[in-house]
Amino acid sequence: MMSLKGKGAITGIGETAYERASPFSAFELQIQASLAAISDAGLDPKDIDGIIPIGITGAPAEAFVMNFGIPDLRFSALAPLGGASGIAAVQCAVAAISAGLCNHVLIPAGRNVSSGARAGVRIHQMPQFHQVTEYELPQGAIAPAQLYAPMARHHMELYGTTSRHFAEIAVGIREHALLNDNALMKKPITIEDHQNSRMIADPFRLFDCSLESDGGAALVVSSAERARDMRQPRVVILGSGEGHPDSPSSITQRPDMTRLGIAKAAPRVFEMAGVTHADIDVAEIYDCFTYIVLCQLEDMGFCKKGEGGPFVEDGKLRLGGSLPTNTHGGLLSQAHMLGMNHIVELVRQLRGQGGRAQVDGAEIGLVTGYGDMGDGAMAIMARG
């Protein structure tokens, strides 16, 4: 059977400045990031022959063809997995390239949400939320924080996980954001700051929740073979996969509320990549909420289910620890860029372009995405 192992590479990355109340539209941010990624790859926009746009508010592929004058778009697709869309799109791109359908796939994302409708209102316009919108929204289960909180509470009651475990995740990721000039959060926080931050949706406090921010991020995916001769140090995709949780439209109805879609994808991704957990030098883990990081660590098999709290407690997710995580500051402290910023950061780390947050000798890393009601995606990449 054909495997996608080592077939694709991320050859271009681009990001705009992340900010609140950006003067640019989502599409303009998407265009800015796309031009940056294409230039980073050493390509011209007319070299792009595949497009997978990200995000429900984003522009369709046609808009890029129009604005870039792309002469022959040969492949387009959508990967609507919320915050797991970016990685799902990378996998889709590698599959299309490997099948000979196209050469260079652009994956552009842009959002301008911080001054418009908040996430709690926006999600209820999405078809995948229709059950929540009908049965739960009228009762006051409105925002992701409220929909996800029962997962975290169940975990805490079952396994003794504590809010201080969540705090360690928030504090470590904030430390990393302080090393990143393009991060919204500029001040350090302590465990006590986390514990004193106001309660939003018990057990989630303010510092358990990700930011709402504006910006753009984009990727160019090419064949691993072609990437040898391109501008940047090569970053090869060793393994990728997406996984959908049981009861994907309703967390309430999920038999095991502590098991996310990534639990199904992770074994496949490790197997495809041919690496083990101990080989991972750096991890960029989708962090819409602190608990979601902890749960994914368990679901990926870094520790047993229920042991995520003690696993993170010793600071191993911080730079210098055994599994440095979210070296850019994540959704919690850099910006909410739908996890596209996680993919960009992993590529930077593996190129050795991580700046002050560079993990020494990072050769193999993983990135995860989490979307909507628990969709998961994951990729393992390597330098060289």
Partner 1 sequence: MSIDLKPVPHATPESQSYWNGVAEGRLRLQRCSQCGLVRHYPQLVCTKCYSVAVEWIDASGRGTIHSWTVAHHAFHPAFKADLPYTLVTIDLEEGPRALGRLDLASQSKLHIGMAVQVSFPANDQGVKLPMFTAMV
Closest contact distance (angstroms) between CB of 290 and partner 1 is 15
Select 179 or 200, whichever has its Cβ closest to partner 1.
200
Which of 13, 31, 51, 149 contacts partner 1 by CB under 8 A? 149
Is residue 120 a contact point for partner 1 (CB under 8 A)?
Answer: yes
Give the tokens for residue 246: 């049981």
Q: What is the DSSP letter of 382?
A: E
Nearest residue (CB) to partner 1, 2 versus 139: 139
**Per-position DSSP letters for 44-71, written without gaps between them:** -GGG--EE--BSTTSPPHHHHHHHHT-S
Q: Do residues 5 and 274 make contact, with C-beta atoms less than 8 angstroms apart?
A: yes
Nearest distance, CB of residue 348 and partner 1, angstroms: 34
Q: Which is nearer to partner 1, 4 or 142 (CB)?
A: 142
- Half-sphere exposure (Cβ direction) of 240: Cα atoms closer than 13 Å: 26
141 scored as a contact of partner 1 (CB under 8 A): yes
Is 260:55 a contact under the CB 8 Å cutoff? no
Q: Would you count residue 314 as binding partner 1 (CB under 8 A)?
A: no
Question: How many residues of this chain bind partner 1 (CB under 8 A)?
Answer: 36
Contact between 347 and partner 1 by CB under 8 A: the answer reads no
Binding-site member from 25, 57, 67, 250 for partner 1 (CB under 8 A): 250
Q: Does 294 bind partner 1 (CB under 8 A)?
A: no
Burial of 361 (0-12, 13-18, 19+ CB in 10 A): exposed
Taking CB under 8 A as the rule, does residue 199 contact partner 1? yes
State the number of CA atoms in the 13 A half-sphere of 114 facing the CB. 18
Shortest separation between residue 131's beta carbon and partner 1, angstroms: 5
- Asked if 253 touches partner 1 (CB under 8 A), the answer is yes
Give the residue from 330, 294, 124, 375 showing the smallest Cα distance to 210.
330
- The region, left, alpha or beta by phi > 0 then psi within -120 to 50, assigned to residue 175 is alpha
Q: Does 131 bind partner 1 (CB under 8 A)?
A: yes
Binding flag, residue 305, partner 1 (CB under 8 A): no
Out of 66, 158, 314, 353, name the contact with partner 1 by CB under 8 A. 158
| Residue span binding partner 1 (CB under 8 A) among the ranges 45-53, 132-140, 357-365, 371-379 | 132-140
Taking CB under 8 A as the criterion, the residue among 12, 50, 203, 241 binding partner 1 is: 203
Pairing of strands 215-223, 105-111: antiparallel
Residue 373 in the binding site for partner 1 (CB under 8 A): no
- Candidates 1, 139, 187, 229: give the one binding partner 1 (CB under 8 A): 139
CB of 257 to partner 1, least distance (A): 6
Q: How far is the CB of 130 from partner 1 (least distance, A)?
A: 8
Stretch that binds partner 1, among 130-138, 170-178, 236-244, 287-295 (CB under 8 A): 130-138
Q: Are 201 and 140 in contact (CB under 8 A)?
A: no
Distance CA(234)–CA(227), nearest Å, equals 6
How far apart CA 308 and CA 295 sit, in angstroms, is 7
DSSP code string of 209-276? BPP--BEEEEEEEEEHHHHTTSSSPPEEEEEEEEE--SSTT-STT-SSTT--THHHHHHHHHHHHT--
Token pair 């986390």: residue:
194
Listed ranges 113-121, 180-188, 215-223, 373-381: which one lies at the site for partner 1 (CB under 8 A):
113-121
Q: Does 98 bind partner 1 (CB under 8 A)?
A: no
CA distance 301 to 298: 5
Footprint of partner 1 (CB under 8 A)? 118, 120-121, 124, 131, 133-143, 145-146, 149-151, 153-154, 157-158, 198-204, 250, 252-253, 257
